[in-house]
Amino acid sequence: MTLVRSELLKIRTTSTWWIFGLISLALWALTLFFNWLQTEALAGGDFGEVPADQSDQLQAVSAADNLAANLYTNGQFFGLLIVLLLGIVVVTSEFFHQTVTTTFLTAPHRSAVMLAKLVAAGVLALLFWLVTTVLNLVTAPLILNSVDVGSQLGSGAIWRAIALNGLAYLLWSVLGVGLGVLIRSQIGATVTGILFYLGGAIGAVIVLSLLASRYGDWINKLQLLVPSLASGLMVGGDTDIPGNPPQWAGALVLIGYAVVAGAIGVATIRKRDIS
């Protein structure tokens, strides 16, 4: 517990957290704008000519629940990236600023230090989630009402989407800590993290759909194994979108990644020479 307090104090006593906070606030506003446009378009229900097999999907996406869930978890796309980077920085800044020696002199039990870092990064991530969610709870009803969908706050599915969003923030910060241990270089880990996240989302979709068109549709199911897509799936609305694997599968995959990343991180740092 003293170690967690120390880790939180480390975060509080540098400017990293509020710089990240400001960036995520700006990105939150940006995504809010696009989600608002999207909501208006989908709620208008005017999609023009759409092939038959895609119209089912559109139907599902534009269901009130999904529209609302999307708005109540607004900011998630970049928010998860931010907490991933925060998790990375919690570890790599120790190597970058050469404070890791002092840290391990103070607490020679390295797994305890790493657990404290995981907890501290998680606490910070949940704080980011909390602030974002409060903002969303203010803005989403305004947008939903403006397109005559209603706030949907009575729906259990919405609250579940919000909670799962929190879980996603937590898990991505854990992934960040694990990644930070594996790639000690601050810049290296940050770049890898961004590629891992964005590349995971965009690159994997492209690669997988190319493969799918050659080897058959089942390949699309592999999307589940891409962390960012799994997390997107996990926090999707209640109405299962046809053709996509179920929500809980996304959650399981992401938890699996987080546990593996955290465990590898702890195991690695235990044995490493600090010189």
Ligand X SMILES: Nc1ncnc2c1ncn2[C@@H]1O[C@H](COP(=O)(O)OP(=O)(O)O)[C@@H](O)[C@H]1O
* Residue closer to ligand X (CB basis): 184 or 221: 184
User: Which listed option, other proteins, ligand X, none, makes contact with residue 66 (CB within 5 to 8 Å by class)?
Assistant: none
The type of residue at 170 is L
15 binds ligand X, rule: CB under 6 A? no
Contact between 275 and ligand X per CB under 6 A = yes
> In this structure, what token pair is assigned to residue 47?
């999609």
**Minimum CB distance to ligand X smaller for 46 or for 273:** 273
Distance of closest approach, residue 6 Cβ to other proteins, in angstroms: 4
117 interacts with other proteins by CB under 8 A = no
Nearest-CA neighbor of 8 among 90, 96, 85?
A: 90
Indicate which of ligand X, other proteins, none lies near residue 45 (CB less than 5 to 8 Å, by partner kind). Answer: none
Could you identify the residue written with the tokens 């399981």? 252
- Give the nearer residue to other proteins in terms of CB position, either 71 or 269: 269
Give dist(CA 8, CA 97) in Å, integer. 17
Looking at the Cβ atoms of 55 and 111, the one nearer to other proteins is 111
Q: Which of 2, 192, 164 is nearest to 72 (CA)?
A: 164
Q: Among 39, 70, 76, 93, which residue interacts with other proteins (rule: CB under 8 A)?
A: 93
Distance CA 151, CA 124 (A): 28
Q: Which amino acid is at 102?
A: T
CB 31 within 8 A of CB 77: yes
Can residue 214 be called a binding residue for other proteins (CB under 8 A)? no
- The residue among 5 and 272 lying less far from ligand X, judged by its C-beta, is 272
Among ligand X, other proteins, none, partner that 198 touches (CB below 5 to 8 angstroms by kind)? none
Q: How many residues bind ligand X (CB under 6 A)?
A: 2
Pick one of ligand X, other proteins, none as the site partner of residue 102 (Cβ within 5 to 8 A by kind). Answer: other proteins
Helix (H) or strand (E) holding 42: helix 16-44
2 binds, among ligand X, other proteins, none (CB under 5 to 8 A by kind): other proteins
For residue 191, what are its two tokens? 């770049």
Least Å distance, CB 15 to other proteins, is 6
The residue sitting closest to ligand X, measured at its beta carbon, is: 275
- Count of alpha carbons within 13 Å of 108, Cβ hemisphere only? 0
Tell me how far CA of residue 135 lies from CA of 20, 69, 139, 156, in angstroms: 17, 14, 6, 19
Window 214-273: residues binding ligand X (CB under 6 A): 273
Element (H, E) at 226: none
14 binds, among ligand X, other proteins, none (CB under 5 to 8 A by kind): other proteins
Q: 10 vs 28, which CB is nearer to other proteins?
A: 10
Q: What's the rounded Cα separation, in Å, for the pair 234 and 76?
A: 12
Q: Using CA atoms, how far apart are residues 94 and 68, in angstroms rounded to an integer?
A: 41
Give the DSSP letter of residue 235: T
List contacts with other proteins (CB under 8 A): 2-3, 5-6, 9-10, 13-16, 93, 97-99, 101-109, 271, 273-275
Q: Which residues bind ligand X (CB under 6 A)?
A: 273, 275
